[in-house]
Every structure is written in C-alpha cells, then in structure tokens.
C-alpha cells in the first residue's frame, strides 16, 4: 500500500514516456525485425509474379525479380490455353462451395442437439464424435470405403469424407451453450418445435461462428490435393491443386498441357509456365484473404475457449 | 402425469425407465432428426473405416474380399522385422521432432515480441502478412520452394553458391532435404502459430502491468512475471496437441516435395503407406502400418493428457 501511495506522487504518464536506452534499442530492433519478416512472407509471391511476366531469356538467367524483365504476357496466354486449368477450377469450386456449405450446415445440425443436456444418449454420441478426433483409421480403410461406396472417380469423393470434423462440432457446441435458454423457452411457448427453433432462432444468432467454420472449411477444400490423388483418376475431374501439382512436378507435362511446342520459337518455358500457374492458383486466395482474415482470427479465439 | 404418480407403483422400475425413455425420445424427436445426418456421416466415414481396420489382421484379397484369410498379428510382426518400415518410422520421428524443437518455441517468441509493439496499425498489418502462408496450400508452397531451389535459376541456390561455392541441389540432397522440410514448415506455420498465444495474452488484465510499472518493474520483468505466466496454460495445451502429432511428420508437404533420391531420409509412415498400399495394392500390410501409427498417437495423447491433469494443469478434455 505504502508503495502505491508513494507512486502517486509521480505522474504515471511521465513514467511511461521515460524509457531506458535499452528499451529504445529493443523497440527499434523489434520493428525492423518484423518489417523484414513481413517482406520475407511477401517476396516469394512477388517473385513468381514478376518472373511469370518476364521473358524466357531473363527467367532462365534467374536472380532477384523485383519487376518484370522483358515484360510479356505470352506465358499467361499458354497457361489459359490449358483446358485442365478450367476443369481444375470447376472441380475445386464445386468441392469448396458444396463441401463448406453442406459441411457447416451438418456441423451445426449435429452440434445443436448435443448442446442440450436433456437429450437422451447425447453424452455417448459426444464421446463417439470426440473419439474420431483422437483416432482415425488411416489412408487405406478410407480408400477402400470410397471404392466400396462406388465414389471412386466421382467428384463427391472430394467432398464427403471431410464434411464434418469433431473439432468444429465442439466449437459449434460450445457456442450454442452460450445462447440463453430463455430465448428457446419463449419460442416454445409460442408453439415452435425444436426444428423451427433451430432454423429460425438459433442459426441466425450464430452467424459469426458459422461464418468462421464455413471459411475454415472452404480453405480446407480449396487447398486439398491428396483426395484427388487418392480418389480421382480421370484428369478432367482433378481439383485445381492436383492439376497444379502435376504441372509443377512434371516439366514435360507442364509444357504439353500448356500446348507449348518445344521446338517452336516461343517466349515461354517451364520456369515461366510454372511461375504463372502458381500465380493463377494463388490469386483467388490473395484477393479474398484480406477481407476474411478477421473471421479466421475470431475462430481461433472461439476455439481457444474450451467447450 | 399426476394421475400416474398417485397410483401405486406396480410395474418394475425398468418399465418406468422405458416409459420415460420413450416419452423423452418422442419429446426430442426433432432434435434426433437434426442429429441424423451427422450421425450417418460419422458412422459411414469414420466408424466403417475403423471396422475395416480388421484387414490389418488378414491377408486381404482385394478382388474377392470373402476369400481373405485371417492371419492374426502376422502383418505386424512383418512390419517390425522389415528394415524398410523401421527406417520410415525413424524418419517420421526425426522429422517431426526437428519440426517441433524448432517450430514450437518460435511462435511463442514472435507473439511475445509482437506483444511489445505499441503501434496497433503496424501490429495488424504484420499479423495479416505473417498469417498468410498458413492459408496457402502445400502445392503452391511446394511450387515456390521448387522455384527458389531450382538448380539453375533458384535464388536460394544462388545464395548458397555465393557463400559456400557449392552447387547445392537441396531437393535431391540427403543432407539438406530434412533441414529444408523443417525450415519451410516453420516458415509456413510460425505466423499462424502466434495467434493462439495472442488469444491468451488478450485475457491479461492491463491493470497488472500498470501495477507492476508503478512498483518499478521494467518491461523485461513484466514479461517474466506477468506475460509468461499468463500464457503458460496455453503453452502446455499446445505441447499436448503437438505430442499427438509426433507421428505426423507432414504428409502434404513431403508428398509434394520428395523424390526417389531422398527416400532414405524423407520417406515417412504416411508416404510409405501410400506407396505400399495404393501403388502396390498391398492393403493388409499398409493398413497395419497405418494402424500402428494411429494406435501410438492415441496412446500418446491419452497419456500426455493424463499426465498434464495429474500435474495440476488443464488437459484437453
């Protein structure tokens, strides 16, 4: 107590402004360090973008690309001649939209009843759902399941196996638990049944949480490539990431897919084609990301609160 | 209800239980209906594959499953006597331990450093940029890595050459491949990794800092006595979750980047299961390998969680 009273004599503001030299050096270092780190996060994307806009000769020389050297768009012309890019976008958009919307809906529908303590068997079901989070059967049983279900080479195989995750169910459930019971009670008095309460009261109240789960699901579907490797053989049903992977790991494939005749005099080569493909697949994310980033942050904040 | 309760109880208790159960089921019929699609999903896509783990105890015949023979633990004894499996098991642990040793503390340090920044705007912008790689797929990251490590045009190749004078082909070099995996994994995940610690830091009462500075505690002392204790529970939970991942060395990343010359150091259980199972259609053996991995992960997470709770910390359930 005595100490606190002593401190009262010194205005607190003065205390804050007066920083030691050590702290000043630290602050300068800290800002410089993070500036550098941010540049490190951005440069790879900038590099491939500039490389893809450069001429073949310059791209083959390598080095740092801060701006396009020998600007031309030939590479993009050949990338967009590749029919696989379009089918890849088609499959990926299908899987992302259907998977994230359906998945989020089913997640909410599963989590809501489980948030009701009165529900008979709810606890057992919750344990069974949680168990899938800490134990999974692995690649081969999942592969055999898709084969047995007749979903092999079907785009739904990219959607269904990842539809609902136990983790999202927990997040959703802990959010539902925070909704006051009284809201539900008054709706019940007005004659609404549980189904109606869920769709017309609970869901509209949960927009923020639903948006978060929807976005995480969307990222998962957008970035998924291994489902295609496992379940899809027909190249015209491949997801964008799988198409891109094939172009990146297989130079010959990249050139042929882009319709580049190696003998013909063309201003494109494997380096620029690959760079341009990376750009084409990344741009949609870079465009959307700044606007939705806050929802991801919010999602982790919700998830951090244990349910 | 009232008339029923005034009557003397004639039926045995179980009858009353079943009657109540029936009534509850009818009362909550809409809730059960809501639950149905999710239950069907978990049953088909999670529990049927678990049931199918039985093929690890068979000599599975993919063309006519009914002709499969039960072989007991034969596949597992094969597994542990196969040098190839022991090698991928070792690789898995080595890679994920390196990723953990380097990748676990870095987000904590970054979060603490960022927490010291006063400029909200700068903080916001740098957070947005640091989180970005997390949302980029391993295919795109792999493409960037291949670009930067390209033997003739890659920037990093040029840098390595400038410093060591060597033409290092990282992606096919047994000595450099694993460090490359670790560095790129840390690069991709370190920014996003900070966010969970920010969640913990945002819960610290600012009055604590005020009180400490009035008492004459410098920033470093405040860090030591307020900030670090505040994030400790989160650190422990993250450590537990990391232990669960000890056998997940990063399939998406490795599958994108590895090639035959580096199988020796980069082949992990998951990639091995893929090649033996899907490519060579040796279903039973590869299922056994995958199951071994899942069981170890289960044992690990249950025991670490138990230990955390025993020692007075919060577990994950």
Name the residue among A34, A48, A164 with its Cβ closest to that of B38: A164
Closest residue on chain B to A52 (Cα)? B147
Asked if the Cβ–Cβ distance from A223 to B138 is below 8 Å, we say: yes
Tell me the shortest Cα–Cα distance from B219 to chain A, in angstroms: 8
| Cβ of residue A187 closer than 8 Å to a chain B Cβ | no
Pairing state between β B69-70 and B58-59: antiparallel
Residues found in chain A:
307
Closest residue on chain B to A36 (Cα)? B126
Name the residue among A63, A145, A245 with its Cβ closest to that of B155: A63
Instruction: Let me know if residue A247 belongs to a domain.
Output: no
Report yes or no: B271 and B250 within 8 Å, Cβ to Cβ: no
pLDDT in tens, A122-141: 999 999 999 998 899 999 99
3-state secondary structure of B137: coil
> What are the φ and ψ backbone dihedral angles of A285, each rounded to 5 degrees?
-70, -45
H/E/C letters for each residue in B165-182? Answer: CCCCCHHHCCCCHHHHHH
Asked if the Cβ–Cβ distance from B286 to A141 is below 8 Å, we say: no
Q: Look at residue A34 in the predicted model and tell me its pLDDT.
A: 95
The DSSP secondary-structure symbol of B68 reads P
- Identify the weakest region by mean pLDDT among A287-301, B184-198, B276-290: A287-301
Task: Find the mean pLDDT for residues B13-18.
Answer: 72
CA distance A180 to A191: 18
| Selected residues 104-123 of chain A with any CB under 8 Å from a CB in chain B | 106-107, 109-110, 112-114, 116, 118-120
A131: which 2 tokens? 């168990």
User: Does residue B239 register a pLDDT over 90?
Assistant: no
Instruction: Let me know if residue A216 belongs to a domain.
Output: yes
What separation in angstroms does the CA of B7 have from each of B1, B2, B14? Answer: 10, 9, 17
Instruction: Let me know if residue A205 belongs to a domain.
Output: yes
Instruction: Let me know if residue A212 belongs to a domain.
Output: yes
Q: What is the ipTM of this complex?
A: 0.87
Instruction: Let me know if residue A229 belongs to a domain.
Output: yes
The ranges assigned to domains in chain B are 12-42, 74-310
| Cβ of residue A37 closer than 8 Å to a chain B Cβ | yes
Asked if the Cβ–Cβ distance from B140 to A278 is below 8 Å, we say: yes
Asked if the Cβ–Cβ distance from A219 to B286 is below 8 Å, we say: no
Residues of A in contact with B114 (CB under 8 A): 34
A153 lies in which domain range?
89-240
Q: Pick the residue with more confidence: B38 or B59? A: B38
Name the residue among B42, B48, B199 with its Cβ closest to that of A304: B199
User: For A260, left (φ over 0), alpha (ψ -120 to 50), or beta?
Assistant: beta
Instruction: Give me the CATH code for the B74-310 domain, please.
Output: 1.10.3720.10
- Identify the weakest region by mean pLDDT among A58-67, B17-26, B62-71, B139-148: A58-67
Closest residue on chain A to B112 (Cα)? A30
- Domain total of chain A: 1
| Selected residues 248-277 of chain A with any CB under 8 Å from a CB in chain B | 248-249, 271, 274-275, 277
Residues of A in contact with B35 (CB under 8 A): 109-110, 113-114, 125
Q: Could you write out the DSSP letters of every residue in A188-232? A: HHTT--HHHHIIIIIHHHTHHHHHHHHHHHHHHHHH--HHHHHH-
CATH number of residue A108's parent domain: 1.10.3720.10
Task: Find the mean pLDDT for residues A230-251.
Answer: 91
CA distance A104 to A214: 6
Q: Pick from B89, B34, B147: which is nearest to A249 by CA?
A: B147
Task: Find the mean pLDDT for residues A75-88.
Answer: 90
Instruction: Let me know if residue A72 belongs to a domain.
Output: no
Instruction: Let me know if residue A34 belongs to a domain.
Output: no
Average pLDDT, chain B: 88
Residues of B in contact with A195 (CB under 8 A): 30, 33-34
3-state secondary structure of B98: helix
Asked if the Cβ–Cβ distance from B273 to A140 is below 8 Å, we say: yes
Instruction: Let me know if residue A303 belongs to a domain.
Output: no
């Amino acid at each position: 107590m005595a100490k606190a009273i002593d401190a009262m004599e010194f205005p607190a503001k003065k205390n804050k402004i007066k920083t030691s030299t050590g702290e000043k050096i630290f602050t300068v270092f800290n800002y410089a360090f993070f500036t550098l780190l941010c540049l490190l996060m951005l440069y790879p994307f900038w590099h491939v973008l500039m490389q893809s806009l450069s001429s073949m000769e310059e791209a083959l020389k390598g080095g740092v690309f801060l701006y396009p050297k020998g600007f031309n768009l030939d590479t993009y012309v050949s990338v967009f001649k590749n029919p696989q890019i379009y089918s890849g976008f088609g499959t990926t958009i299908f899987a992302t939209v259907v998977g994230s919307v359906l998945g989020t809906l089913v997640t909410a529908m599963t989590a809501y009843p489980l948030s009701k303590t009165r529900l008979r068997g709810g606890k057992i079901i919750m344990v069974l759902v949680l168990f899938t989070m800490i134990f999974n059967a692995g690649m081969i049983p999942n592969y055999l399941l898709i084969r047995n279900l007749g979903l092999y080479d079907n785009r739904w195989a990219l959607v269904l196996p990842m539809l609902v995750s136990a983790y999202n169910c927990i997040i959703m459930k802990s959010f539902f638990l925070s909704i006051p019971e009284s809201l539900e009670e008054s709706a019940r008095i007005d004659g609404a049944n549980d189904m109606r309460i869920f769709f017309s009261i609970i869901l509209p109240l949960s927009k923020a949480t639903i948006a978060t789960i929807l976005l995480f699901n969307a990222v998962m579907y957008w970035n998924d490539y291994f489902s295609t490797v496992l379940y899809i053989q027909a190249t015209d049903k491949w997801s964008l990431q799988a198409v891109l992977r094939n172009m990146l790991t297989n130079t010959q494939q990249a050139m042929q897919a882009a319709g580049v005749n190696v003998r013909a005099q063309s201003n494109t080569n494997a380096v620029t084609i690959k760079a341009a493909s990376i750009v084409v697949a990344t741009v949609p994310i870079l465009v959307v990301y700044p606007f939705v980033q806050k929802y991801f942050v919010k999602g982790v904040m919700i998830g951090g609160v244990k349910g | 209800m009232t008339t029923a309760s005034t009557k003397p109880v004639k039926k045995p208790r179980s009858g009353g239980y079943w009657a109540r159960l029936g009534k509850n089921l009818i009362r909550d019929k809409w809730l059960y209906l809501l639950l149905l699609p999710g239950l069907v999903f978990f049953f088909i896509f999670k529990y049927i594959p678990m049931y199918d783990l039985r093929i690890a105890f068979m000599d599975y015949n993919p063309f006519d499953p009914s002709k499969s023979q039960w072989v007991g633990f034969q596949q597992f004894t094969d597994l542990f006597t196969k040098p190839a499996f022991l090698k991928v098991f070792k690789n898995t642990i080595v890679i994920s331990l390196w990723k953990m040793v380097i990748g676990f503390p870095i987000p904590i340090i970054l979060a603490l450093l960022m927490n010291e920044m006063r400029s909200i705007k700068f903080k916001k912008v740098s957070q947005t940029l640091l989180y970005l790689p997390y949302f980029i797929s391993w295919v795109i990251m792999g493409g960037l890595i291949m670009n930067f490590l390209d033997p003739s045009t890659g920037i990093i190749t040029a840098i390595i050459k400038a410093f060591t004078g060597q033409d290092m082909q990282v992606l096919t070099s047994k000595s450099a491949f694993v460090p490359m995996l670790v560095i790129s994994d840390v690069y991709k995940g370190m920014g996003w990794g900070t966010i969970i610690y920010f969640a913990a830091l945002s819960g610290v009462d600012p009055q604590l800092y005020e009180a400490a500075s009035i008492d004459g505690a410098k920033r470093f002392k405040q860090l030591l006595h307020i900030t670090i204790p505040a994030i400790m529970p989160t650190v422990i939970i993250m450590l537990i979750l990391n232990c669960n991942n000890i056998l997940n060395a990063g399939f998406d990343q490795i599958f994108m980047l590895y090639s035959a010359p580096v199988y020796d150091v980069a082949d992990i259980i998951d990639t091995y299961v893929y090649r033996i199972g899907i490519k060579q259609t040796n279903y039973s053996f590869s299922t056994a390998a995958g199951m071994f991995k899942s069981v170890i992960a289960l044992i690990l997470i249950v025991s670490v969680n138990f230990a955390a709770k025993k020692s007075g910390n919060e577990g994950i359930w």
